[in-house]
Amino acid sequence: MAVSYKKLWHILLDRDMLKKDLSVAAGVSKATLTRLTKNETVNLDIMLKICKALKCDISDIMEIVPDKDKV
């Protein structure tokens, strides 16, 4: 299984926010946002900070997707 943060990027577009805006609002580093951009896993505490900053649920910003080679 893999993680996808496409939903997060759609929310940022809808809210006219840049990644650096999210970094400041959520108090997370630019390195963390780079990990998210690469669909790498991050600590749950970080995801909760992002949810709090965006006033959303975790399912609104990420999803678990099957591995492409196992479909």
pLDDT digits (tens, 9 = 90+) for 7-49: 999 999 999 999 999 999 999 999 999 999 999 999 999 999 9
Q: What is the pLDDT of residue 67?
A: 80
**To 5 degrees, how large is the angle CA 36–CA 16–CA 29?**
35
Distance CA 17, CA 35 (A): 18
What's the CA angle centered on 24, arms 32 and 59, to 5 degrees?
60
pLDDT-based confidence at residue 71 (cuts at 50, 70, 90): low
CB 4 within 8 A of CB 62: yes
The mean pLDDT of 58-67, rounded to a whole number, is: 92
Pairing state of beta strands 2-4 and 63-65? Answer: antiparallel
User: Hey, how many other C-beta atoms are within 10 angstroms of the C-beta on 27?
Assistant: 13
